Amino acid sequence: MKNIVRKLLNIVSTTMLVLGFFSLNNANAEKCGSTDTINIPLHNWTSQVVMSHVVGQLFYKIGCKVSYKSTESQQVYESIRTGDNIIALEIWERPFGKLFKEALDKGGIIEAGKHDAITREGWWLPNFVIEMCPGLPNWKALKKCSDMFVRSDSNGKGVYVDGPIEWLHDTRRIEALGMNFVTMNVKKANDLWIELETAYNKKEAIVLFNWSPNFTDSLYGGQFVEFPTFNEKCITNESWGVNSNMTHDCGDPVGGYLKKAAWHGMPKKWPGAYKVLTRINFTTNNIGDMAIYVDVDRMAYAQAASSWIIDNKNVWEPWLSDLE
């Protein structure tokens, strides 16, 4: 008799566990809006990958299914228009603003607000290099001190260490400003940090492509090279600027936006996840921290994201509140 009761109790409790599990999952799935997989694109720089995992893990908390898809940062807008990827989390104004606008005009993709973080990219000098030549980070000082940046294989020219070739950076500035420099592209973003660390350890001068927010802000400190102030005419009008025969005789724009976007069907299909997406808002420090977990602490991306989530409950909890 006792045995039967125990067996019955066992069955009942197992059933309740299973039911409980399903109802929990169902309640959560209702918060997301659908159990269809939300594809999240991954690019080739750290903060974007960690941020994608942070958002994926937050979506998971409200019952969404997520999957990550490696996608070229130039191709991502087209992939969202066609519903292949569902969200974009780091739309940097300078490199992607034009592509994003074109995609918005074509349709299939919608803007989902912007982060507080202000973005900047361009030629960058760490503080220990700024101290090596008076007048830095002004470009005229950099031009004068080009010898400091010469390498054994650079034919007497200073080396500008640029990002991977796929990032399609324009290099006409060097010629337009008459600088005795050559561009050297690294293979992967991570090689930029290897170059920087090597230069730091040897106390050798380096000028490299960098961006903010990034982990370098707090690890090395530094400043972007001050080129002549950006102006649209600098790109289109040869006679404008310090070189009256060439375009591109100016710096990159400062203070760009960092926006989010979604596939246009997302609000209807995954209303809860879409609401969370519109609330998500990372600061410069949030994004720098995400990169630090990987680029300094050497964590794996998903683990870095979990750590960020554990350390920043107060930031994301309001984004998940009051979902239907």
Residues that bind ligand TMO (CB under 6 A): 45, 92, 95, 121, 211
Which residue's Cβ lies closest to ligand TMO? 211
Nearer to ligand TMO, 41 or 241 (CB): 41
What is the greatest pairwise CA distance in the chain? 100
* Residue partners of 225: CB distance under 8 A and separation at least 6: 122, 123, 124, 125, 136, 137, 138, 139, 142, 207, 251
* Tokens read off for 53: 């995992």
Q: Provide, rounded to whole angstroms, the least separation between the CB of residue 91 and ligand TMO.
A: 9
Closest approach of Cβ 73 to ligand TMO, in Å?
7
Could you tell me the smallest distance in angstroms from the CB atom of residue 119 to ligand TMO? 7
Give the residue from 126, 37, 27, 62 showing the smallest Cα distance to 320.
62
**What span, in angstroms and rounded, lies between the C-alpha atoms of 171 and 191?**
19
Taking the least distance from each CB to ligand TMO, the nearer of 45 and 77 is 45
Q: How far is CA 195 from the centre of its chain?
A: 20
**Is residue 232 classed exposed, middle or buried when 0-12, 13-18 and 19+ CB atoms within 10 A define those classes?**
exposed
Nearer to ligand TMO, 92 or 308 (CB): 92
Q: Residue 159 pairs with which residues in a beta bridge?
A: 182
Nearer to ligand TMO (CB atom), residue 95 or residue 126: 95
Amino acid identity, position 25: N
Q: Which residue in the block uniquely carries the two structure tokens 């289109």? A: 236
Residue 212 C-beta: closest distance to ligand TMO, Å: 9
Rank residues 56 and 95 by Cβ distance to ligand TMO and give the closer one: 95
Residue 25 Cβ, how far from ligand TMO at the closest point, in Å?
36
